[in-house]
Amino acid sequence: MKILFVGDVMGQSGRSVISSYLNEIKKEYKTDFCILNAENASGYAGLVKSSYDELIAAGADFITTGNHIWAKKDIFDFIEKYDNILRPANYPSPCPGKGYNVVRIGKIRLGIINLSGTVFMENLDNPFLAFDKIYEIIKPCCDIIFVDFHAEATSEKIAFSYYASGRADAVVGTHTHVQTADERIINLQTAAITDVGMTGPYEGVIGIDRSIIIKSFKTKRPVKFELAQGKRQFNGVCVTFDDNNVCVKIERIYKIFD
């Protein structure tokens, strides 16, 4: 069993990479299921219905998100209608949408959990304790548990991957848009990477036009963000599980396109 996870898909640039290359990459890695973080898929933040439809039509099976989930109002109209989209589970209750779900891939029951970190981010419920609660609920009905831990601080993400090891079978970090080279299998039982990276503009500053961001740092005045143009990138990981549903391999994927 192989799961492809795609890092934050950003704007039209990222969606065009998915439309053009996702199926090719799925074939190359012979994956069985594709999870894609889409918190930036519309504009540069948020997810509207037409972008959701485009990503699903292009071959994504499941969508996770993060702190930008509420950036476009459209999300409130459809997040409750679909079982294959999550927002971070540790948003305060009541909050629309789900933070975890269990899906079937043939005989395998895959539990997917989306959490947000709280270091240098919004002050949400404690993600470590939220995971404990969700794990107790879904463990009896899951063969594999896969976590998208959407967080800024590398320390929080690494600490969480050790904390969840032995319970989660894979913990992948998202949010920084920069892929880290620390993919590994912890304690022979949990695939982990601090950040998967992003899918979208290659030559911007984490996806935004670089001249705008440099101006903002230089002048310390508000600027209007625009998606960077030009070359594009695909960032993801492929996690392989053996017949006993134990992870045996995590491979980083980093591709650049014109």
The residues that touch Fe ion, with contacts defined as CB under 5 A, are 8, 39-40, 66-67, 175
Q: Between residues 39 and 148, which has the closer beta carbon with respect to Fe ion?
A: 39
* Beta carbon of residue 20, minimum distance to Fe ion (angstroms, whole number): 21
* Beta carbon of residue 22, minimum distance to Fe ion (angstroms, whole number): 18
* Beta carbon of residue 243, minimum distance to Fe ion (angstroms, whole number): 34
Closest by CA to 49, choosing from 82, 18, 21, is: 82
* Beta carbon of residue 146, minimum distance to Fe ion (angstroms, whole number): 18
* Closest residue to Fe ion, based on beta-carbon distance: 8
Would you please indicate which residues are annotated as catalytic (active-site) residues?
68
Q: Between residues 111 and 207, which has the closer beta carbon with respect to Fe ion?
A: 207
Closest by CA to 29, choosing from 257, 258, 256, 254, is: 254
Residues 120, 180, 3, 11, CA torsion sign: positive
| Inter-residue contact 157 to 186 (CB < 8 Å) | no
Q: Between residues 177 and 241, which has the closer beta carbon with respect to Fe ion?
A: 177
Strand arrangement of the beta sheet that strand 184-186 belongs to: 100-105, 108-116, 144-150, 170-174, 190-193, 184-186
Q: Whole-angstrom Cα distance, residue 246 to residue 19?
A: 31
Residues 119, 122, 123, 124, CA torsion sign: negative
Q: Between residues 144 and 172, which has the closer beta carbon with respect to Fe ion?
A: 172
Integer angstrom CA distances of residue 222 from 64, 77, 213, 227: 29, 30, 10, 16
Q: Whole-angstrom Cα distance, residue 102 to residue 37?
A: 17
Q: What is the DSSP string of 207-235?
A: TB-HHHHHHHHHH-S-----B--S-EEEE
Q: Between residues 40 and 235, which has the closer beta carbon with respect to Fe ion?
A: 40
* Beta carbon of residue 138, minimum distance to Fe ion (angstroms, whole number): 24
